Structure 1
Amino acid sequence: MAESESPISQEEVSSQHHSNSEEQCKADGSSTAPEPETKGLSAAQQDVLERCLHALTHAKNDSHILAALLLITRLCPANQLDRETLHRVFEAVGFNLPARLLVTAIRGSEGSGLPPEELLSLGTALLAALSTDLDMATHPQLLSTIPLLLGLLENGIADSQKQTQHNSASQTNNSEESCPNGNSTSCDTDTEHNTGEDVPESSLGEGVDGVQPPASKLDEALAADCYQVLSTVCSLPRGPDQLLSRGAVPALCRAVLKKQTLSHEKGLPLLAHLLSSNIRERVWSKHQSELLSLLATISQNFSQAPNQDRLDLCSSVPQFLPPPTAEPLTKELQDSVSSLWASLRPLVQGKLSIDHLGPVLVLSACLLDLCGWEPTGSPKFCCLLVNRACVEVRMLLEEPPGTQLSAQQQNTLTACYRIMEAAMEQACTQGSNPSPAQPETAIAGLSLQQSRQVLGVLEEAFSAVIYYLQQVDSSSYDDPFLFATFRSLCAWLAEETSCLKEEVTALLPFLIGYAKHHLQKGKDKGLADWMSKLSVSDCSQTGTWSGENALRYLLPALCHLSAEEGPRKVLLSLDTPALLVHFLNRGWEVLRTQSGKTVKRDPSLETACSALLNFAVTEPDRVRTDSCFASLETMLSEALPVLIHKTRLLVLAANCCTLGLMIGRLKSASKGPVESGSGPRRFFSCALRFLLGALQPGEKGGQARLSPVWEPYWDEVSELWRLGLQALGGCVNAQPWITALAREDGWLQNTLSLLESSSSLPDPHSQHALEEALCAFAHQCPLCRQDIRKSTKRDGRSSLHGMKELKD
């Protein structure tokens, strides 16, 4: 066949298909070595395929290529071609031809001689076939066609005449730079074949950015080929990122909203995959507007669907909800959530099969995570929702030991846990503070009786959780569902400490052993991946799981349990103080690397200090003999000098200061002088400076004021400050050398000056704590006693004159 620079016509391709190419296949195929058989082909078909592949490989222009390809596609569908055959097609054609076919069709070039639909059909079919090989799906040239495919799926195509009118102006002005073959005539499919060349950036880039096909419906086969390419790319490790960067999310959203071909059948599942992947948060931050419009449509369709269809839709809706954030909710999102709740309430209130109840509870939990209880419904409905979740937990967890839970049951239970967690705080705090300043509970209008009912069903459900955890052995510690169950119980124990005491105490060996296991193991990617795929996800932990997280969830419960004698004895037998010290040491290693704006407060470290403080107060003999407390003292002497200069960490500094002083009061007196720069001297010097910084003189001899640095945190640290002063008095009695340090560093004089210049302290409790510390100094040190007497004998009505014990 002679080469031609003119456009290929339909007749030419057809005639070449039936004559020239078959002849070339017959002529050239005889010298071709036999290749592995392609699946599903007879020997005769395989022979013809080999001849066509040979002709394709030796084609001299696009006309030859098109004819050979038409024969191959009619002979053997793409999904029947083996990997080696696909590679041979790719080596002969490359991605250059299918991309140019798309660009030519979208521009509506009259010179092509073929209808745009046929060009697009062949181009997308080629891309779909090549994308079935994962190596080819990652090729940069295939990825570069994604915007073209998205444009087709979003806007469809028009007939040749409309396309010509739409693009005539741009073709006239830009024909030279836009034609792949460099001619000034319009682009055609009969250009010289050059295997392996990239699609020229001018044509491909303009086709991506500048060409917007007129809206019309795509042929289903063509749309299916487009979605085949996108779905294959999405399944790759970096596929979601590739699609996000090429505008897939807004294009697919608009395709669904326009009801384009296969947008519901294939576009929505593809979007769901993207929104369930590790790019979920980035997708929502970048394309919130389009996704909220899509969610509004989904919620509208959900509300209009019959009840049976609505039940089936419950499992897909959560994928299109945004991740929970601390940012204010938009009105559009609130409206969609309210609409979903309105349609969901009849389902929760109705009689549901086991298969349907799970998705309903999962969707309910997702909506609670997103917007809380406010849009959920009446208090009666909220109580019903909690009751259904608790009953489901009991039904599934109270099975005999050894019963295996399916993946669907585990997902349902995880949703139930989140509903229970959302309810427990409201029920546990209801009526505990009738102050008008107390914010209204999230379950608006929940009566005391309803609150007690909720607490009752929660207690029964967590009794089932404890029963389930009692059956677990250490071989299952890495099971992700076990972590979800563990976390839920910890959330309950953080709020409710008066129920199920005996059962909880008996479970402590498991709870501590589980936390130790994960702390020692470190990061667990499998658990992080499982959490990221949950329909109900924990936004604070998803993708950032570390071995410390299990202990972090348990810490509030340990803080409560270490204050009670029975559980505390069990915790001591499990060497819990050493576990907490290890956790603090690791946290300090992280904090010491932070500075400036990178410093982040970690409440878990503060809670760990509180639990250790309980041991220091109630178990003096254990503190004196356990080596972990000596290690803790070393860490505190290193940390406190740094923490007192980090304002954001003032609460942690207060915890460390008070904890160190409580341990210090149990130490015996030093036999020799305490050297300057030693750990104990450095700690006490910083502790004195820190305690002094809380108050400053009042104006004109009035009441002493909180310092500006301490004032924002006073509600959290006031008790620690007072306990620290009392512990300081105990340290002075146990280690009298501290009195000399207090005089040398100016603590005593500055404290007396503060009291002399102030009529009173902010509250009587603070005044009593400071008086107790000063009495200890006066008792142990004659020089300190002399300084205090001088101050109390001066004229005036200072706060010193209210400290009667100092006058004795």
Structure 2
Amino acid sequence: MAENGCHLPPPQCPSGTDPDAVEGSGLSPSQREVLERCLHALTHAKNDSHVLAALLLITRLCPAGQLDSGTLHRIFEAVGVNLPARLLVTAFRGDDSSGLPPEDLISLGAALLAALSTDTSMVAHPQLLSTVPLILCVLENGPTRTQKRTQAMNESESISGSQTGSAADSPTALDEALACDCYQVLNAVCALPHGPEQLLTRGALLGLSRAVLNNQTLSREKGLPLLGHLLSSSVRLRAWERHSSDLLSLLGTVSQNFCQASDQARLEMCSNIPLFLPPPGVESESQVLKEIVGNLWASLRPLVQGRISPEHLGPVLVVSACLLDLFGWESTGPPKFCCLLVNRACVEVRMGLEEPPGTEISPQLQHTLTACYRIMEAAMEQACSQGAPSNPAPPQTAIAGLSLQQSRQVLGVLKEAFSAEIYHLKQVEQTAYDDPFLFATFRSLCAWLAEETSCLKDDVIDLLPFLIGYAKSHFKGEGEGKGLADWMSKMSISSSSHDGTWSREAALRYLLPALCHLSAEDGPRRVLLSLDTPALLVDFLSKGWACLRGQSGKTVTRDPGLETACSALLNFAVTEPERVRTDPCFVALEDMLSEALPVLLHKPRLLVFAANCCTLGLMIGRLKSASTELGQHRFFSSALSFLLSAVQSGQASEAARISVLWEEHWEEAGELWRLGLQALAGCVRVQPWITGLIREDGWLQNIFALLGSSGRLPDRPSQEALEEVLCAVAKQCPVCRADIRELVKSSSCGSLQEMPQLSRILLE
């Protein structure tokens, strides 16, 4: 059998057809006759030798590429995956009972697997999947080294303390046909619905990476593309978390080849670089990765600065966006180059979006424009803060050394690009709401509006019906959303949800910061009210609270989106009192806050959200008449307790201090606390029954105990807010006024010099 050879021609590299072949049939009549005899022999084979003989004859006369699915199934039924798997295992163990050299067994086994893997039902067979580690071992080490390495391992197991010898010191070269068969099997597995996961769990990333690093046969031509596919699939994050060291070595090799290539070759290679970069944040502290990114920027700069065709500019901008995702502007280059990069991205956006209505944007251009959006977003922080005092420790997202003039230039080109986005969004029909590129454009504009709402104000106001309608459509579950779900799962930016996957509230979450700004301005707020935006925010807040309510202990995580929604609703509560009194959504909001605040008192990780809920509820409460509802009693009792928790007594005659619980979040929650006290004062004025609750809870006694002999809080604004509450209580309730007089005397506050208005009321 050994003399006959043992290579089954690979499906992707079939030999020429027989001149007698019948057109369209794949096999000639003579081949079909021989095939039938071989299939009969396979079916009635009494041992492996008979099976191998029949298979070898099939490979001679009927190349795998000419076998149809039905014939492959017949071979599979006769042989099964068990035989090729056994051939590989036999070769690896060095068992010569078959009469064939190990190299021939490996070649025949791989060729059989390659032929069988051309059918998806066969490639998903568990026995075929079990051969993947063996296939990878062949690709990494070559057949000779693999077999010797296995023998040495077997010997080391039988001889205590022995070492594997030099047989495994260096890989052996692969036959190209064998390599072709091995990659056929792996590519077929990868094409399965869960193929990338199957390959990841079977060590494909390590095996393929080492094959590339060993420069094995076809590793660059076939191994790198397969690795690129794996690393851009759903297993990307897990792959980097498990194998970061090996993948960094692989990226180093890819980067080195890129940097050493000519400018023209680099243009061709640009589209491959993003596939091998880690997800943002995974290797953010790696000095190796920083060095690689710096080298890539050095090689990219001439391409960005040069004159290149549109088809090459796209991949250059995409890889630039990916590098910015990793380390911002830290190693991008001098300010002049950074400005040029932003300018090129903005020009590309204008050229791509400022087309007549109905113009279709190609998938390739959409991919480029999405990358341009990320470049623009990276530039926004610098541009939108131009003219502000310099930060001694600027974040990596800022362009270091940018002059005021350059910042204004960047802001100018950004305005033009975002104007183009607005123009594009105005043309959108509701039937296109599930388009991933539309979501990318929407998200980009929201990022701009989160930073800057004064520019293009009239255009933004005109676009508000679309922005609200788009966010509401997804949030309410209109349309299928599958296109967006698939796209979001592959996005490098995954802040739209906690686990990085698409959720229907993603669009609204991106819009929330802009709504917070716009609801504070008269013109945009009127439009938002006409679009029933408060009801949308209340619905979002209620659903978010339903998710948070079940969390406890270390599972509790902050949700900034809920806090931002509270801020936007707070703007409405402050500026639109009549709407708050009459809109049913605010009644629903009160009910939710009455349920949420008592629970939030026991979730210290959600203190900022609790501060938002407390203040929002009090701001609404000051607009309502007296209430006897149990829920309102529960809310105000919780609010009094929550506001009290922010303060702890100081030492001796020193001012009271911010409590340990609040201190970490005081920058965010302090203003809310002061606003909450002022709102509480307003509630006392319109709902006098609250003073009875204040007395029942002993709130006044606790406050004065915390103030101590100093009678003051650590900062003047907080002191004034507390004084406003005490004045309101003293005016509304004579009994409380008497209590305060007694408390002032017992706490040795003297004439309450820190609270002159309260002193005057007490003297009345």
**Coarse TM-score class (shorter-chain normalised):** over 0.9
Q: Which has the larger radius of gyration?
A: 1
Aligned residue type for 1:464: A
Residues 559 and 799 of structure 1, relative CA distance in 2, 3 Å threshold: farther
Q: Distance in 1 between matches of 2:194 and 2:311?
A: 34
Q: Distance in 2 between matches of 1:315 and 1:789?
A: 77
| Partner in structure 1 of residue 415 of structure 2 | 459
Quote the offset at 1:798 in angstroms: 6.2
Q: Is it true that 1:315 corresponds to 2:301 in the alignment?
A: no
Residues 654 and 115 of structure 1, relative CA distance in 2, 3 Å threshold: same
Which whole-Å deviations, capped at 9, do the CAs of 1:37-71 have from their partners, x for residues lacking one? 99311222212211111111111122221221111
Matches within 5 A, 1:178-189: none
C-alpha contact 1:756 1:799 (8 A) present in aligned 2:
no
Q: Distance in 2 between matches of 1:215 and 1:257?
A: 11
Which whole-Å deviations, capped at 9, do the CAs of 1:412-446 have from their partners, x for residues lacking one? 00000000011101221244244657768631111
| Partner in structure 2 of residue 121 of structure 1 | 107
Q: Distance in 1 between matches of 2:703 and 2:156?
A: 88
Match of 1:260 among 206, 216, 219: 216
Aligned residue type for 1:295: L
Quote the offset at 1:244 in angstroms: 1.2
Which whole-Å deviations, capped at 9, do the CAs of 1:447-495 have from their partners, x for residues lacking one? 1111111111101110000000011111111111100000000000000
| Partner in structure 1 of residue 448 of structure 2 | 492
| Partner in structure 2 of residue 99 of structure 1 | 85
Residues 39 and 439 of structure 1, relative CA distance in 2, 3 Å threshold: closer
| Partner in structure 2 of residue 380 of structure 1 | 336
| Partner in structure 2 of residue 363 of structure 1 | 319
Q: Is it true that 1:428 corresponds to 2:412 in the alignment?
A: no
Q: Is it true that 1:227 corresponds to 2:183 in the alignment?
A: yes
C-alpha contact 2:752 2:759 (8 A) present in aligned 1:
no
Residues 400 and 461 of structure 1, relative CA distance in 2, 3 Å threshold: same
Aligned residue type for 2:151: N
Quote the offset at 1:596 in angstroms: 0.8
| Partner in structure 2 of residue 20 of structure 1 | none
C-alpha contact 2:284 2:327 (8 A) present in aligned 1:
no
| Partner in structure 1 of residue 40 of structure 2 | 54
Quote the offset at 1:500 in angstroms: 0.5
Match of 1:688 among 640, 643, 647: 640
Matches within 5 A, 1:625-704: 625-670=582-627, 674=628, 678-704=630-656
Most deviating of 274-283 and 758-767: 758-767
| Partner in structure 2 of residue 721 of structure 1 | 673
Most deviating of 103-112 and 767-776: 103-112
Match of 1:287 among 243, 257, 268: 243
Which whole-Å deviations, capped at 9, do the CAs of 1:597-619 have from their partners, x for residues lacking one? 11110000000000000000000
Matches within 5 A, 1:326-405: 328-405=284-361
Aligned residue type for 2:736: C
Residues 396 and 265 of structure 1, relative CA distance in 2, 3 Å threshold: same
Q: Distance in 2 between matches of 1:168 and 1:359?
A: 47
C-alpha contact 2:139 2:174 (8 A) present in aligned 1:
yes
Q: Is it true that 1:273 corresponds to 2:229 in the alignment?
A: yes
Residues 9 and 725 of structure 1, relative CA distance in 2, 3 Å threshold: closer
Q: Distance in 2 between matches of 1:57 and 1:629?
A: 77
Q: Distance in 1 between matches of 2:529 and 2:538?
A: 13
Residues 741 and 165 of structure 1, relative CA distance in 2, 3 Å threshold: closer
Structure 2: 5+ residue runs without aligned partners?
Answer: 7-21, 160-166
Residues 436 and 757 of structure 1, relative CA distance in 2, 3 Å threshold: farther
Aligned residue type for 1:699: Q
Residues 540 and 318 of structure 1, relative CA distance in 2, 3 Å threshold: farther
Residues 624 and 216 of structure 1, relative CA distance in 2, 3 Å threshold: same
SS at 1:700 equivalent: coil
SS at 1:218 equivalent: coil
C-alpha contact 1:151 1:213 (8 A) present in aligned 2:
no
Quote the offset at 1:92 in angstroms: 1.6
Q: Is it true that 1:789 corresponds to 2:741 in the alignment?
A: yes
Matches within 5 A, 1:186-205: none
| Partner in structure 2 of residue 595 of structure 1 | 552
Q: Distance in 1 between matches of 2:405 and 2:603?
A: 46
Q: Is it true that 1:154 corresponds to 2:147 in the alignment?
A: no
Residues 165 and 684 of structure 1, relative CA distance in 2, 3 Å threshold: closer
Q: Distance in 1 between matches of 2:643 and 2:407?
A: 42
Quote the offset at 1:163 in angstroms: 5.7
Q: Distance in 2 between matches of 1:149 and 1:213?
A: 20
| Partner in structure 2 of residue 300 of structure 1 | 256
Residues 290 and 540 of structure 1, relative CA distance in 2, 3 Å threshold: farther
Aligned residue pair count? 736
Quote the offset at 1:324 in angstroms: 0.7
Q: Distance in 1 between matches of 2:392 and 2:150?
A: 67
Quote the offset at 1:170 in angstroms: 3.6
Quote the offset at 1:644 in angstroms: 1.5
Which whole-Å deviations, capped at 9, do the CAs of 1:370-389 have from their partners, x for residues lacking one? 11110111111111111110
Match of 2:572 among 607, 615, 627: 615
Which whole-Å deviations, capped at 9, do the CAs of 1:321-366 have from their partners, x for residues lacking one? 0001166421111111111111001001111111001000000000
Which whole-Å deviations, capped at 9, do the CAs of 1:695-738 have from their partners, x for residues lacking one? 11110121110100010011101111111111111101100000
| Partner in structure 2 of residue 730 of structure 1 | 682
Residues 223 and 662 of structure 1, relative CA distance in 2, 3 Å threshold: same
Quote the offset at 1:654 in angstroms: 0.5
Quote the offset at 1:164 in angstroms: 6.8
Quote the offset at 1:114 in angstroms: 3.0
**Identical pairs, percent:** 69
| Partner in structure 1 of residue 15 of structure 2 | none
| Partner in structure 2 of residue 5 of structure 1 | none
SS at 1:445 equivalent: coil
Quote the offset at 1:165 in angstroms: 10
Residues 264 and 438 of structure 1, relative CA distance in 2, 3 Å threshold: closer
| Partner in structure 1 of residue 562 of structure 2 | 605
SS at 2:571 equivalent: helix
Aligned residue type for 2:64: A
Aligned residue type for 1:101: L
C-alpha contact 1:37 1:46 (8 A) present in aligned 2:
no
The two structures have a TM-score, normalised by structure 1, of 0.87
C-alpha contact 1:755 1:798 (8 A) present in aligned 2:
no
Aligned residue type for 1:689: S
Residues 57 and 83 of structure 1, relative CA distance in 2, 3 Å threshold: same
Quote the offset at 1:100 in angstroms: 2.5
| Partner in structure 1 of residue 131 of structure 2 | 145
SS at 2:171 equivalent: coil
| Partner in structure 1 of residue 472 of structure 2 | 516
Q: Is it true that 1:708 corresponds to 2:660 in the alignment?
A: yes
Residues 126 and 702 of structure 1, relative CA distance in 2, 3 Å threshold: same
| Partner in structure 1 of residue 151 of structure 2 | 167
C-alpha contact 1:324 1:539 (8 A) present in aligned 2:
no
Q: Distance in 2 between matches of 1:611 and 1:625?
A: 18
Residues 63 and 793 of structure 1, relative CA distance in 2, 3 Å threshold: closer
| Partner in structure 2 of residue 185 of structure 1 | none
Q: Distance in 2 between matches of 1:397 and 1:651?
A: 40
Q: Distance in 1 between matches of 2:679 and 2:560?
A: 23
Residues 750 and 437 of structure 1, relative CA distance in 2, 3 Å threshold: farther
Q: Distance in 1 between matches of 2:571 and 2:277?
A: 43
Q: Is it true that 1:241 corresponds to 2:197 in the alignment?
A: yes
Residues 144 and 394 of structure 1, relative CA distance in 2, 3 Å threshold: same
Structure 1: 5+ residue runs without aligned partners?
Answer: 1-7, 15-35, 176-210
Residues 38 and 471 of structure 1, relative CA distance in 2, 3 Å threshold: closer
Q: Distance in 1 between matches of 2:297 and 2:395?
A: 24
Q: Distance in 2 between matches of 1:557 and 1:334?
A: 33
Q: Is it true that 1:773 corresponds to 2:725 in the alignment?
A: yes
Residues 795 and 654 of structure 1, relative CA distance in 2, 3 Å threshold: closer
Q: Distance in 1 between matches of 2:31 and 2:156?
A: 46
Q: Distance in 2 between matches of 1:355 and 1:393?
A: 15
